[in-house]
Every structure is written in structure tokens, then in C-alpha cells.
């Protein structure tokens, strides 16, 4: 009704049918129809005409009850309703329940997640410092985004993997063997796109500090700005004590609940999709070897800075 009324209001302003169809997202024939109906029947012309066909089995009130029930928690201890459970509870058919939910845009099976507002009292200062390093880095500075991907499992299958071929997906057995885990420490050079990395058996402050020392020695003539999250190993007393004595090194912590500001997370997503997903390794050494080979190939052929492509409006707090 609101859409049809808007057609009439725009017509009263003197707009053409073509312009009205663009603004109302309707065809020109539809716009002409509602103009003619309003001209002959006034407001009653904007209502739906009586139609032939079987009358509705369930009233509007009964449909609303189904939608309301779907928005509650089931009494059987589960967290969400299913089509079958709603059908049993209401006495309606599964197909009818499905149509009612679709009409109301209700999806009990779907869960959307969001990141809550950061509670860090220094959020503005920290995020501004990181964005400043991304957009306008200081002269002779190297901006490194650092994090670790822990618990990468060297999984082996009990039967050989059947390769991808026309008509058949890649196939693996559901049973597997574990050959241990490794942790990947990685540092992304934000403005070059290259990655420095090493695999370690655990990710305590000792391994992280050793990685920082390695990076500090590798770039002897650069001012290093290291962006990292609030993981306990990063904030260890010995890490800060060592960093405080290095004139060329500055540590930047992302605000709490805002590790998405760290660009290494983007690279870890690429890495997980390319290497971890669907991998089969006969030993932990095979896993480490493939990881390091992938990183070398990435640096040689694919490394480039990430570009910000979002052109919409910023989120409002």
C-alpha cells in the first residue's frame, strides 16, 4: 500500500511514469495501473481486487501465531525451532510452515554474529594510531602486523585421498590420524605485502620474543612499528622489558575486541583457505614443509598490500 501510495504522490508532483518506476522499483505498466485505479476509484483503487481461487485454510491470526512461536525458545531444551517441530506443535503441514516462515522472513536455523563495542577506554587513541600507520607511515619505517595461528593439526587419512575429477569432488575418509600440531608465527609487512614466518611447537612469550628478535635483526636500518593483539604472550613482562630497550622498535596493541584492525588476520584467512582446508600430511614435518613452501611462493608471486575497498557509510556507534 505504501508503494502504491508513493506512485500517486509522485504523480501529483508531476513526475513521468518512467521516473516514477525508477524511484518506486516498479515496472512502467505497474505504475500506470495504479494511477488509473486511483483515478477511477480513489483510495479504494489502491487495494487488491478480489481474486478467484481456494479460500485460505489458515487465517492471518493463525499465521501470526506460527511466526510468534518460531521466535521463542522450544520447551524441549533445544535452542531453536525446526520446520518439523513447528508442524508438530501447530498441527500444520511442514510445507505450510515453510511458506509462512518464508513470507515472514523468519529463519530459525540462522544465527548472525556481531562484534560488541570495545570496552577499552583507550579505544580511540589505539585505533587512530594503527590507522595512522596504515595510511601515512613515518619515513624509514616498516609496519609489521604480527600474530600467531595456533593448533594447526597435521591430519592424515587412513585411506588414500581420491582426487578431484569430472563429476566427482575430492573425496577423503572420515577417519584420520593425528601427527601432532604446529603453531605459525607470522608478520605481514603492511605496505609491501610480504610475510615473515616460522613454525614453533608452542606459542608462549619465549617463542614470540625470539620472533621479535629475529625481525629486529633482519631489518637493522628500519624503524619497526609492530601491531599486535592483546594475547598474553604479547603482553608478557619480558617482552615489554626487551622492547623498551630498543630505540628502533615500537609496539602497538589493538583495542580489546578489535583484533580485526590487525591486517595479518586477512592473510591468515587466505592461508587457511589455501593450505589448512583439506590438507593431508603424513607427518608434522610434512605440514611445516608445506607451510614454509607456501609462504615462500606467496612472497615471490602474490605478495602485495591489501587495499581498502569498502565504499559504504561507516558504522554508527
Cell reading at 159: 585411506
| Residue predicted with more confidence, 245 or 259 | 245
| Residue predicted with more confidence, 313 or 185 | 185
- Which residue pairs, CB below 8 angstroms and at least 24 apart, start in 14-20? none
Q: What is the DSSP string of 241-252?
A: HHHHT-TTEEEE
317 pLDDT band (50/70/90 cuts)? very low
* pLDDT tens digits, 268-299: 999 999 999 989 999 999 999 999 999 999 99
Average pLDDT over residues 174-196: 95
Q: Quick check: 163 pLDDT over 70?
A: yes
Q: Quick check: 211 pLDDT over 50?
A: yes
Nearby residues of 133 by Cβ (< 8 Å), 6 or more positions away: 141, 143, 190, 225, 227, 252
Dist. CA 220–CA 41, nearest whole Å: 83
- Which residue pairs, CB below 8 angstroms and at least 24 apart, start in 92-97? 92/58, 92/66, 96/57, 96/58, 97/66
* pLDDT tens digits, 41-56: 898 888 887 777 777 7
Give the pLDDT score at 316: 56
**Counting runs of H as helices and runs of E as strands, what totals does the chain give?**
11, 5
Average pLDDT over residues 82-86: 94
Residue 47 per-residue DSSP state: S
Q: How far is CA 292 from CA 146, 206, 284, in A?
A: 17, 21, 13
Q: Quick check: 250 pLDDT over 60?
A: yes
Average pLDDT over residues 108-124: 83
Whole-prediction pTM value? 0.71
Q: Quick check: 313 pLDDT over 80?
A: no
Average pLDDT over residues 157-170: 88
For the ranges 44-53, 71-80, 123-132, 302-311, the lowest mean pLDDT is seen at 44-53
Dist. CA 65–CA 160, nearest whole Å: 53
Q: Quick check: 141 pLDDT over 60?
A: yes
| Residue predicted with more confidence, 52 or 314 | 52
Amino acid at each position: 500500500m505504501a508503494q502504491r501510495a508513493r506512485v500517486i504522490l509522485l504523480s501529483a508532483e508531476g513526475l513521468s511514469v518512467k521516473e516514477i518506476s525508477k524511484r518506486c522499483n516498479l515496472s512502467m505498466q505497474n505504475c500506470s495501473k495504479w494511477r488509473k485505479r486511483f483515478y477511477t476509484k480513489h483510495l479504494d483503487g489502491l487495494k487488491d481486487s478480489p481474486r478467484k481461487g481456494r479460500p485460505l485454510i489458515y487465517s492471518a491470526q493463525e499465521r501470526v501465531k506460527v511466526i510468534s512461536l518460531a521466535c521463542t525458545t522450544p520447551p524441549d531444551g533445544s535452542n531453536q525451532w525446526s520446520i518439523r517441530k513447528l508442524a508438530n506443535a501447530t498441527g500444520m503441514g511442514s510445507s505450510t510452515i515453510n511458506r509462512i516462515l518464508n513470507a515472514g522472513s523468519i529463519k530459525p536455523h540462522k544465527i548472525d554474529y556481531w562484534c560488541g563495542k570495545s570496552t577499552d577506554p583507550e579505544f580511540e587513541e589505539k585505533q587512530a594510531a594503527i590507522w595512522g600507520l596504515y595510511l601515512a607511515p613515518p619515513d624509514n619505517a616498516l609496519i609489521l602486523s604480527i600474530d600467531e595461528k595456533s593448533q594447526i593439526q597435521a591430519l592424515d587419512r587412513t585411506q588414500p585421498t581420491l582426487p578431484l575429477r569430472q563429476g566427482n569432488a575430492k573425496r577423503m575418509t572420515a577417519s584420520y590420524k593425528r601427527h601432532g600440531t604446529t603453531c605459525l608465527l607470522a608478520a605481514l609487512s603492511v605496505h609491501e605485502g610480504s610475510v615473515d614466518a616460522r613454525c614453533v611447537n608452542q606459542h608462549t612469550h619465549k617463542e614470540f620474543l625470539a620472533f621479535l628478535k629475529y625481525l629486529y635483526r633482519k631489518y637493522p636500518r628500519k624503524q619497526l612499528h609492530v601491531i599486535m593483539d592483546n594475547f598474553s604472550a604479547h603482553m608478557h613482562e619480558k617482552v615489554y622489558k626487551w622492547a623498551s630497550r630498543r630505540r628502533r622498535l615500537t609496539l602497538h596493541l589493538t583495542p580489546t575486541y578489535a583484533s580485526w584492525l590487525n591486517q595479518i588476520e586477512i592473510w591468515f584467512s587466505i592461508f587457511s583457505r589455501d593450505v589448512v582446508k583439506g590438507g593431508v600430511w603424513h607427518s608434522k614435518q610434512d605440514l611445516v614443509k608445506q607451510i614454509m613452501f607456501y609462504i615462500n611462493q606467496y612472497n615471490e608471486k602474490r605478495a602485495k598490500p591489501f587495499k581498502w575497498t569498502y565504499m559504504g557509510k561507516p558504522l554508527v556507534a
